[in-house]
A and B are shown apart, each in its own frame.
Chain A
């Protein structure tokens, strides 16, 4: 969680300072979801992510150097600078991509789950998507097919209350996206997405169910993004209140978990400080790696459009 939080904070600054080009959708506030779910997954298990995908890749084992390099558009990035933030991915880690298309992920995760079943592996595919994305037809088709074919798939809806600048109340007539699960014939579970242990436990049950051939689950995590839809301050629209943000920040998943661990004497304040120090060092090294890396060459443009038989 700390790795995600610190990465996103720095990435946000770099974007607003104009050092990272394009648009970043940052994950600050939602860390418990990616962290709690990914704890159960190996590199062979697959995930599909969203436009807000850095946290998912970090939790799946993404390294800061290649991530920053991608965000900076360098040839050493996870996608050789061709994808950027919105398409960051790494197949070796089972990360089938952030996605610029809202609702782009669930059908792909369903396909990966189909493949897992077809190839008789024990791997599970997890689709992360937002409350807003739950209104795309792609999600419904994927959920129905996953349930019909009893696929090893978990649909994790990160309900942060907004799709861009539109509140959930203004984009769907239900409160719990998980209610929709009944319509597909799969369990629907609602969990506090600010409580990493609760996410961990609920995700554990869903993933176990998927792995053992009992089919998909729709797991809804109630969460909140602290930053604007894009960047940190974003467009500066007043679509939500400072008070609302404060209420959620008071329940910050990282702070709560740290307190809990200290109270349980699992760790100490000092050890937690060391975690931050280590993460900060990684970040510094990652940014330096990115800044020292070359840009792709114009000649690289036409590579990777097709597989022409070379190594990929």
Chain B
């Protein structure tokens, strides 16, 4: 019995998968280090660097002042000169504090220098609503980043992808943002112990179906999966795609799926207007117009900042029900 148990695949929550990914990167790359606010002794306010200071010491794990522009600048300068920094931007909302370092320095340096600089820097940052943290601690701003030529942006929806994308990001010789989700931290799934990569720029069909493609980003993948059963009860066989990487974006997987199902609903947690979903829809209609049997629908947050009150946040954040409702509309049910 105990023997059989040992054979069982190991499950790890998202938070521990992040830790393991970062740990293995630090083991594998001597010139990698972690820098950010309260990443050392505190192990981050989300807990995902816990134990790393003890294991790797203060030469590899750096607590910084509350200076986001400084943190990102440190990563730009250090990565351009031979280090492989892993930076922590505690909440994605704090991008505002350091957007120049991101948009005008990190993203453009290599290009402006005619390829003369290489910036192997990884930024881990936390997105998402659902914890009543109000307008400045709940945003999904990935579209800001995806719009910047020069940075890559991945959004793991589960623990397996979190570890694999962190490792892939750290091995990549470009700036990569790993946009995490706070509501997913406790969510566990099978995670291999050895280091592995989840390829950046590849989407994954996580459920095959024939009636319609639900193309989801980040945590919304889990909401899309939760919508599968109620949809099946309505007689709808939904295909679900985890976009995983929004820059680069895997056009092929998404287009192929829609060519098969002829209908699509695009889902993200970010504000619908101007969100990344618009890009997905545009690509689908450009490349597969003739296959479309219905307008492509989008699910996203309303055009307002994230509200504090639980009564409002509940209706603000897209979920399985809003996905089902949109699918029904698309199919005319």
Complex-state Cα separation, A301 to B134, whole angstroms: 13
* A86 is an interface residue with CB less than 8 A from chain B: yes
* A87 is an interface residue with CB less than 8 A from chain B: yes
Given A101-B96, A164-B38, A237-B41; A301-B307 close (CB under 8 Å): yes
Residue contact B66 to A82, C-beta cutoff 8 Å: no
Residue contact B94 to A296, C-beta cutoff 8 Å: no
* A94 is an interface residue with CB less than 8 A from chain B: no
SS class, residues of chain B in contact with chain A: loop
* B311 is an interface residue with CB less than 8 A from chain A: yes
- Closest Cβ neighbor of B90 among chain A residues: A164
Residue contact A136 to B307, C-beta cutoff 8 Å: no
Return chain A residues, CB-CB under 8 Å to B94. Answer: 101
Residue contact B312 to A84, C-beta cutoff 8 Å: no
Residues 159-198 (chain A) with a chain B CB within 8 angstroms? 163-166, 170-172
Q: Chain A: residues with CB nearer than 8 A to chain B?
A: 21-23, 73-75, 79, 81-87, 99-103, 132-133, 135-138, 163-166, 170-172, 235, 237, 239, 295-298, 300-302, 305
Return chain B residues, CB-CB under 8 Å to A132. Answer: 65-66
* B105 is an interface residue with CB less than 8 A from chain A: no
Interface size for B (C-beta < 8 A) is: 36
Return chain B residues, CB-CB under 8 Å to A237. Answer: 41-42
Residue contact A86 to B136, C-beta cutoff 8 Å: yes
What number of residue pairs across chains A and B have CB atoms under 8 A from each other?
132
SS class, residues of chain A in contact with chain B: loop
A-contacting 9-mer, from B19-27, B196-204, B226-234, B298-306:
B298-306
**By CB atoms of chain A within 10 A, which of B94, B96, B97, B308 has the most?**
B308
Q: Chain B: residues with CB nearer than 8 A to chain A?
A: 37-38, 41-42, 45, 63-70, 93-94, 96-97, 131-137, 302-305, 307-312, 315-316
6 A-B pairs besides A23-B133, A86-B133, A103-B66 with CB distance below 8 A are A73-B310, A85-B134, A100-B93, A137-B97, A138-B97, A300-B312
Return chain B residues, CB-CB under 8 Å to A138. Answer: 97
Residue contact B63 to A296, C-beta cutoff 8 Å: no
Residue contact B37 to A305, C-beta cutoff 8 Å: no
Q: How far is the CB of B96 from chain A (nearest CB, A)?
A: 7
